[in-house]
Amino acid sequence: MPRILMLRFEDLEDEDPPQGLDSATELTIRTIPGAPRERASAQDWSLADLAVMAAGQDAQEQGFDALCLPAFGDYGVGALRSLLDIPVVTGGRGTMLHALTLGGRFGIVTPEQGRERAARLVHDYGLSAQCAGIAPCAAASDDTLLEACRQVLAAGAQAICLADHPQPRAAALAAQLPVPLLTPAALCAKWAESLLGLGLAHSRRAYPAPQVRKPELIAALIAASAGDATA
Amino acid sequence: MPKVLVIVPFPMDADNLARRRAQLGAVKLGDGLDFEFRPVRIAPANYVSQQDAVLADIGIMEAGIAAQEEGFDAVCIDTVSDSGVSQLRAILDIPVIGPGRHAMLAALMLGERFSILAMWDRWRHLYTKTLAELGLAARCASLRSAGLQPDNQSLLAGKEDAYFPALLAAAQACIHEDGADVIILGSTTMHEAHAYLAARLPVPIINPGPLTYRLADTAIRLKLAQSRLAHPAPAEPALARLRAMAAAAGA
C-alpha cells in the first residue's frame, strides 16, 4: 500500500482531500508547523523553505513512500529532495509541466501574495516562453477568479494552473472555462502515485545529499519560532 | 471500467503485439483500467524520414479516429515520436497521450537536464521535433545512440547480451560526459532493456510507454484532457476517407 504524505500550509487547510486516488493509496495530510502566514517576500520564502524542510525531513523514516508539497511556491522542495530518497512532488513545477502536456502555453491564477513567487519560479524553471501570463486574484469571490482566468486566456493561455485555491471552487470554475484547469493538490497526489508505480524518484545528480545532515538543528529552529506571533 | 486504447505504430502478429503489451508489467497501475493494444493498418517500414512521419501520422490517426465512439476513455500512442498525437488530439475529446512529450516533461520533474538514449542516430529527428515544439532544447543534455539496428517487431529479443551493455555504455556517457540528471529511453521498443539499465544507472531512467499508462489514469481520474485551444477541432473527422485508405493499404 503506497503511503503518501502531503504537507500543507495552515492558510490552505480548507482544501478538500484530493480525489481520484487509487483505492490502495493511503494519503496523510499534515499542516506545516512554524510556517509564515504571509509568503510575499524573499524573507517569507526562506522561512517557508525552512518550515517545509523541517516538516518533511523525517518523512522517509516515518515510513512514507512519497511526499507531496502542493503549495504553488515550491517552498523547501530542493532541500527535501536533497534529504530524501523518496519522490518529492511539487505543486508549482509539477503543475506547470503537466499543463504543458495539455497545451502549448499555460497561465497562472494566483492569490496576490503569490504573484512574485510564481513569476520567479517561471523564470527559474526556464518556462518564460511557455507562460502566457500570471493573473493575481483576491480569493474573495468566484467572480474574481473567473475574471483572472479570462485575463490569462486573453493572453494566450491554453491551460490554466490554479495556484493555492480551494478545490471545490476549482471544480465550479473548471465548468466555465474552455481550457483545462489544473489544481496542484490533486495533480501532486496522482504524480506521486505514478512515480511510485514506475519506480522513479528525483535524480541524485540534480539533488545531491548533504555531507552532514542537521535534523536536530532544523527542528530546533522551527520549535524556537513556533511561538513567534509574527510568524 | 475505464478503457484505454494503446495504438501500436506498426502492423504485427499476436506474438509481437504481446511484446508491446508486456510494457504493462513494468508499472503498478491503479484500480480497474482496461488496456487494449491495437496495431495500425497503415505504417512506414520504420521512422527515419519525413515520408515515414507522414505515413505514421495517417496510420495512427486512422487507428484512433473512432476511439471515443468505441467507448474508450483515453488513448496512448506507443511511439516516442508522438506521431499522430496532434491529429488525434484535434479529433477526440478524450485524453490523447504521447510518450515523447510527456517523458520530457516528466524528466524535468526529476532533474534539471535529461538525455535521450536511442538505439541509433536515425531517430534523432524524432526528438529534435518534440524539443522544438516544447521550447525546451536547452534542458536536453544530449541525444545519444548506441549505434544499434532496431527491430520494431521482435524488439530486443535474442540480442540482450550484445545490446544491453551497449545501451548501458551510451547511457553512462549521457550522465558522465553530457551531464544528464535523468535518462529517457528513446523508444517504447527499448522497454525490455529498462530494468537492466535502471539497476545499473545512478540516475532515474524513464520508460516512456508505462509512463503513458499512469498518465492515462491521471487524465481519466482528474478529468483532464488536452486543451481545445491548443488543438482546434476539424470541421469534420475524415473517418470515411481514412477507412478507405486503410483498406487500400491492406490490399
Residues B92 and B111 in one domain: no
Residues A99 and A172 in one domain: yes
The CATH code of the domain that includes B77 is: 3.40.50.1860
Mean pLDDT of all residues in B137-156: 93
Residues A50 and A84 in one domain: yes
Residues B193 and B107 in one domain: yes
Residues B27 and B104 in one domain: no
Q: Is residue A217 part of a domain?
A: yes
Count of domains observed in chain A: 2
Residues A105 and A162 in one domain: yes
- What is the nearest CA distance from A190 to chain B, expressed in angstroms? 6
Residues B109 and B196 in one domain: yes
Question: Residue B181 and residue A203: Cβ atoms within 8 Å?
Answer: yes
- Predicted confidence at residue A139, as pLDDT, reads 65
Residues B60 and B92 in one domain: yes
* pLDDT of B115 over the 60 cut: yes
Q: Is residue A231 part of a domain?
A: no
The CATH code of the domain that includes A139 is: 3.40.50.12500
Question: Nearest by CB to B134, which of A19, A100, A182?
Answer: A100
CA distances from B169 to A204, A205, B125, B199 (A): 19, 18, 22, 14
What burial class does residue A155 get, using C-beta atoms within 10 Å of its C-beta: 0-12 exposed, 13-18 middle, 19+ buried?
middle
| A125/B contact by beta carbon, under 8 A | yes
pTM listed for this prediction? 0.89
Residues B197 and B216 in one domain: no
- Predicted confidence at residue A229, as pLDDT, reads 40
Tell which residue, A116, A136, A135, has the closest CA to residue A45: A116
- Predicted confidence at residue A140, as pLDDT, reads 61
Residues A84 and A113 in one domain: no
Count of domains observed in chain B: 2
Q: Which helix (H) or strand (E) holds A179?
A: none
- Mean pLDDT per 10-residue segment, chain A (231 residues): 94 76 94 90 88 96 97 95 96 97 97 92 95 87 88 98 81 91 95 97 94 91 70 41
Residues A179 and A104 in one domain: yes
Residues B17 and B139 in one domain: no
Quote the ipTM score: 0.82
Query: Residue B160's domain spans which residues?
Result: 100-207
- Predicted confidence at residue B250, as pLDDT, reads 81
CB B109 within 8 A of CB A97: yes
Q: Which helix (H) or strand (E) holds B205?
A: strand B205-206
Residues B119 and B146 in one domain: yes
Mean pLDDT of all residues in B94-102: 97
Buried b (16+ CB within 10 A) or exposed e, A173-207: bbeebebbbbbbbbbbbbbbbbbbbbbbbbbbbbb
Residues B193 and B128 in one domain: yes
- Please give the angle made by the CA atoms of A26, A72 and A217, to the nearest 5 degrees: 75
What is the rounded distance in angstroms from the CA atom of residue A50 to the CA atom of residue A75? 8
Instruction: Using a pLDDT cut of 90, give the percent of chain B over it.
Output: 89
- Least confident among A11-25, A125-139, B123-137, B180-194: A11-25
Residues A29 and A86 in one domain: yes
Residues A190 and A76 in one domain: yes
The CATH code of the domain that includes B111 is: 3.40.50.12500
Residues B63 and B81 in one domain: yes
| A21/B contact by beta carbon, under 8 A | yes
| B225/A contact by beta carbon, under 8 A | yes
Residues A98 and A67 in one domain: no
Residues A116 and A178 in one domain: yes
Question: Nearest by CB to A94, which of B109, B112, B210?
Answer: B109
Contacts of A151 (CB under 8 A, 6+ apart): A107, A133, A135
* pLDDT of B106 over the 70 cut: yes
Nine-digit cell at B120?
541509433
What is the rounded distance in angstroms from the CA atom of residue B146 to the CA atom of residue B75? 30
Question: Residue A98 and residue B138: Cβ atoms within 8 Å?
Answer: no
Residues B173 and B200 in one domain: yes
Question: Residue B105 and residue A97: Cβ atoms within 8 Å?
Answer: yes
- Predicted confidence at residue B50, as pLDDT, reads 84
Q: Is residue A230 part of a domain?
A: no
- Predicted confidence at residue A231, as pLDDT, reads 41
B58-87 confidence digits (pLDDT tens)? 999 999 999 999 999 999 999 999 999 999
* pLDDT of B96 over the 80 cut: yes
Residues A29 and A40 in one domain: yes
Query: Residue A129's domain spans which residues?
Result: 92-183
What is the rounded distance in angstroms from the CA atom of residue A114 to the CA atom of residue A122? 12
Residues B92 and B108 in one domain: no
Interface mutation target, options B28, B73, B139, chain A, most CBs of A under 10 Å:
B28
Residues A53 and A122 in one domain: no
- Predicted confidence at residue A143, as pLDDT, reads 83
What average pLDDT is seen over chain B? Answer: 95
* pLDDT of B205 over the 70 cut: yes
